[in-house]
Amino acid sequence: DLKLRTRSLDVSYTNSKTGAEVMALSDINLEIEDGEFICIVGPSGCGKSTFLNTVAGLIKPSRGSILLDEEEILGPGRDRSVVFQSPSLFPWRTVLDNVLYGLEIQKRITDQTRKLAEGYIEMVGLKGYENHYPHELSGGMQQRVNLARALTVEPSLLLLDEPLSALDAQTREFMQEEILRIWEETKKTSIFITHQIDEAIYLADRVFVFGARPGRVVEIVEVNIPRPRN
Ligand code: ADP
Ligand code: ADP
């Protein structure tokens, strides 16, 4: 079973002008179990994105390590998908071709994975939009395409960096419900950054609260609010 574990994780940046080290994460020791939905909250600059990007393998720890199923994360891998705040869709590709992009770079397009992509498009509520282009879709719908692409490569871990923050309040609420529904279905282990505590409480099994500099986890909140189920 999937388990993500960080051991004495430090991450620092080097200021390009002064050469000084800026500590962004300090002594992070966390465990995430298979199927958990984790939200990370904390003040701006507390290291949320740094944590996510380090798990994604885009940043190297300056000390300590991250283990995914006992294997150290040394760089990006197909076992992890990242969704950022703004949907990064190719404007010249249709919804289906955008969703297939992840599989394409992994050279995994077959009839079977194509079906999978169509299934995820349906799951995010965009059946019938396969041949539409991004500019024909609302922001919320574009972010759903992004989500479908991330799910289609079937990562063991989904990393979401404020995926709903760019949306208006109404769309965001709608998407929160959608995400709950999709996660009830997929049970995908996820780490979701948000600066909204209500969003975190609504979505998460556990909330990791990061404190101010240097980034540390100051509290881990177990969320026991029963989720709405249909
Ligand atoms: P959050 O996502 O919680 O807002 P970040 O992870 O973006 O926090 O940033 C954590 C700290 O690291 C902040 O002090 C920020 O200024 C610093 N930082 C982030 N990215 C860089 C970078 N590329 N170079 C230098 N410092 C950075
Ligand atoms: P989203 O619906 O993705 O949350 P918006 O609320 O901005 O994004 O949607 C803008 C318009 O597009 C709304 O009128 C909404 O009803 C419509 N819309 C969104 N998703 C769908 C869908 N899957 N099928 C039909 N219409 C949709």
Tell me if 90 sits within 8 A of 101, measured CB to CB: yes
Instruction: Report the nearest atom of ligand 1 relative to the CA of 42.
Output: 3
Answer yes or no: is the C-beta of 49 below 6 A from any ligand 1 atom: yes
Amino acid letter, 154: E
pLDDT at position 191 is: 97
Order of strands, sheet of 157-161, starting from the edge strand that comes earlier in the sequence: 80-83, 157-161, 190-193, 37-41, 206-210, 217-222
* C-beta of 126 in contact with ligand 2 (< 6 A): yes
Residue 113: what pLDDT?
A: 92
Contact 230, 195 (CB under 8 A): no
Cβ of 24 closer than 6 Å to ligand 1, yes or no, is yes
Compute the Cα dihedral for 205, 73, 105, 137 and give only its sign: positive
Q: Half-sphere exposure of 206 toward its Cβ, with a 13 Å CA cutoff?
A: 16
Check pocket membership of 174 for ligand 2, CB cut-off 6 A.
Answer: yes
Indicate the pTM of the whole model.
0.86
Q: Per-residue pLDDT tens, the chain, 230 aa: give them.
A: 779 999 999 999 998 999 999 999 999 999 999 999 999 999 999 999 999 999 999 999 999 999 999 999 999 998 999 999 988 899 999 999 999 999 999 899 999 999 999 999 999 999 999 999 999 999 999 999 999 999 999 999 999 999 999 899 999 999 999 899 999 999 999 999 999 999 999 999 999 999 987 788 888 888 877 665 44
Residues 6+ apart with CB under 8 A from 27: 8, 9, 10, 64, 216
Position 170: which residue type?
Answer: Q
pLDDT of residue 59: 96
